[in-house]
Chain A
């Protein structure tokens, strides 16, 4: 089945620790996105990538980093600089960001701080 796989489903971070959230897609989509979801705030864009080896900051990139070495993979690292990382993180992809941008979402990773 084609889709977007996020892992792990739940993740715990200790203070001062970096953690990496995985996002893999087998839809052959060019563009990939990371969002943060907090209660009552909707989704906010962290980073996005339109092609391999290129990515752009979204609205709340501080304290996060990404890489796009392969078309199917777009991992997100939550660094120790992110002081309030507890949230639900969603990865999405779209076939062609210039072609009506219908995004497909993974099931999410819930990150908590110990």
Chain B
């Protein structure tokens, strides 16, 4: 069975500092990988996705994630965070063709001035 591990439940960081949110998954088959962001009392929004092709994927607001098959990881990074990036971030995985997402437990990013 698939599983997703987000080891950090909370990551505090100062504004304009770099950040990395870690995500590891377990699966014996090919996967699709996703990062979703959730602002307080809201639903989830897709941040970026890896389906195939280039292992480095980027979002429109400066986040990027790299698919590393050998390490079964899909870490999320941003070189310089803003206060508005404060939110909870969820990593999710789907076995190709399996039609269901499995989510990690989430990482709360806290950006302070």
Contact = CB atoms under 8 A, between A and B. Distances in A.
Interface string B16-56: 00000000000000001010100001111110010100000
A14 to B, nearest CB: 23
Interface stretch (B61-69, B77-85, B95-103): B95-103
B9 interface: yes
A102 interface: yes
Interface string A25-56: 00000010000000011111100101000000
B42 A108 contact: yes
A105 B43 contact: yes
Given A42-B105, A43-B90, A100-B51, A50 B99 contact: yes
A45 B92 CA distance: 12
Contacts of A108: 41-43
Contacts of B51: 100
Nearest to B105: A42
A77 interface: no
B95 to A, nearest CB: 10
A106 B45 CA distance: 9
Given A42-B90, A90-B44, A101 B104 contact: no
Interface of A: 4, 6, 31, 40-45, 48, 50, 58, 90, 92, 97-98, 100-108, 110
Interface of B: 9, 32, 34, 36, 41-46, 49, 51, 90, 94, 97, 99-101, 103-106
The 7 closest A-B pairs by CB, nearest first: A105-B43, A97-B99, A42-B105, A43-B103, A105-B44, A42-B103, A107-B43
